[in-house]
Amino acid sequence: MKLQRKYGFWQILALAISATLGSSILVSFGQVAFQAQFNPILIIIAWILGGLLVLPEMLLLSEGATSYPENGTSYYWIKRAKWNACSFWFGWIMVLFVSATAIATACLALGNILITLLKLDNQWYGKLFGIIILLVLVIMQIFIKKSSGYSQIVFALLKGFPIVLLLVIAMVYGNTASFTDDTINKNLSQIYLSSFLLLPATAMTMFAYSGMEAITYVSGEIINPRKNIPRAMITATIAIVLLYIILAIGLLTINKPQNWLGPTGFNNVWYYAISNNPTIPSFLNYLFSILAIFIFVGSLNSFLVYHSRLIFKMSEENDFFAFFQKTTKRTNMPYLAILFLVVLAIIYILWTSLFNVTNYFIIAVSVLKFITMITLIYLRQKDVKYQSLYRKPVFIILVILALSLCTITFIGSILAMYYYATVTANMWELWNCFIVLGIMLGGYPLYYLKKWLETKCNAKKQRSQ
């Protein structure tokens, strides 16, 4: 069954914001601080640099999405280029290393905040809580009519409450101690070292900025895509970049980065930044944590909507089993695609840590984004149906900046794992990155194996008839 065009401007804008403002709120800020060695100036520069780099990418993605208003984002665009082996590989890497890890990360981060509130020491309780809430959202989307559209707006609004509370706390109880600390001059005195630290720190911001491209996943369900997609993507990108920079400054005024550390590391920095400041009443800490639950639930709700569309599109293009195109009559939701995605996410939740899942996500995204940019360049040159939004000089500048982002993100993610491995004295963490990268690249020939098996099966059927 074909998915209907049912999302307007406000719904896709809310989808992008809701998908972006998620686990990154509690995860990325701590990891950026860790990679920047707790230097407040480097932390802010990393967020600004990440925002400047992600904007050109979003502008290019909006051009691709308006040219081809079909679900499946870059996967479908590669199909348009007739790079069948690449699209098959790309789609499966997206599903296994991006879509599933995005959901798993949100569940793990949600579980961390719940066990912090309940004062539980066992991390398995957090994993269980995250899985239960994920399954509740799945039931809601599959069985409640129009819940996938209107819930995006509801959760996007609810996410504003903890963010506003944090900014109020920063204004009332904040101070400038972080910016007068000796840590600022520790690394800034060495420009070379500061630049080296900015690479992994900026790479960590990419996890926080990921999600705005959610609109391109549901292009085939957007009303008036030529008008609504660019407006929504540009508006969401600018709003989120400004918000993250403001939040970084606000968090630094609440407490020094060294005081963001909790028993579970940097997984819940907002909670510990507030609780480790003796001037802030304890009830505000608990109030923020309770409100922050909306952030994660909203993210999971968005992830289920747009990541499942890739599986649906792969099924349409014969790169996955045809029965994944089945949708519910009441809600028009691809329920089998959603359930398959949930199973993959649960595997990540049960067998890995939050930091590792985050880094797998960043490595995969940096590789796939590079392929996406190359595809858009090819289609703009070769496909007569491609609809340009920008003149050639502007397009070239955007491509150069976007490819720079891919390079910085990839190198930065490797450096981040190296730094983490040296600090924890566990080099296996670094080798995990190369293993994941090897698995990703090693999967490319599987398309040719698939075609060979199909040929064999078809030949056998013909002989039997």
pTM: 0.77
Give pLDDT tens digits for 98-139.
Answer: 888 888 888 888 888 888 788 887 888 889 999 999 999 999
Q: Is the pLDDT of residue 187 over 60?
A: no
The answer to whether 130 touches 136, Cβ cutoff 8 Å, is no
Q: How far apart are CA 57 and CA 64, in angstroms?
A: 11
Q: How far apart are CA 224 and CA 246, in angstroms?
A: 33
pLDDT band at 394 (very low <50, low <70, confident <90, very high): very high
DSSP assignments along 261-329, one per residue: -BTTBSSSHHHHHHHT-TTS-HHHHHHHHHHHHHHHHHHHHHHHHHHHHHHHHHHHTTSS-GGGG---T
Q: For the chain, what percent of residues have pLDDT higher than 70? A: 88
Give pLDDT tens digits for 161-182.
Answer: 888 888 899 888 888 777 765 6
Per-residue pLDDT at 192: 46
Per-residue pLDDT at 357: 65
Q: How far apart are CA 189 and CA 197, in angstroms?
A: 13
CATH architecture type of domain 9-464 = Up-down Bundle (1.20)
**Mean pLDDT value of segment 440-464:** 80
Give pLDDT tens digits for 331-390.
Answer: 788 889 999 999 999 988 887 665 566 666 777 778 888 899 999 999 999 988 888 888
| CA-closest candidate to residue 202, choices 416, 50, 36 | 50
Across all residues in the chain, what is the average pLDDT?
81
Per-residue pLDDT at 166: 84
Q: Is the pLDDT of residue 282 over 60?
A: yes
Q: How far apart are CA 309 and CA 324, in angstroms?
A: 10
**Mean pLDDT value of segment 244-265:** 82
How far is CA 412 from its chain centroid?
Answer: 16
pLDDT band at 219 (very low <50, low <70, confident <90, very high): confident
Give pLDDT tens digits for 289-321.
Answer: 888 888 888 888 888 887 888 888 888 888 888
Q: Is the pLDDT of residue 190 over 60?
A: no
Per-residue pLDDT at 182: 60
Give pLDDT tens digits for 13-65.
Answer: 888 887 787 666 667 888 788 878 788 888 888 888 888 888 888 889 989 88
Per-residue pLDDT at 131: 92
Radius of gyration for the alpha carbons in the chain, expressed in angstroms and rounded: 22
Q: Name, in order, each residue with C-beta under 8 angstroms of 139's C-beta and a sequence gap of 6 or more.
A: none
Per-residue pLDDT at 191: 45
| CA-closest candidate to residue 69, choices 235, 232, 304 | 232
Q: For the chain, what percent of residues have pLDDT higher than 90? A: 8
Per-residue pLDDT at 204: 79
**Mean pLDDT value of segment 421-442:** 73
Per-residue pLDDT at 37: 78
Instruction: Give the HSE-up count for residue 152: Cα atoms under 13 Å, Cβ half-sphere.
Output: 25
Q: How far apart are CA 26 and CA 109, in angstroms?
A: 7
User: Would you kindly state where each structural domain of the chain is located, as residue ranges?
Assistant: 9-464
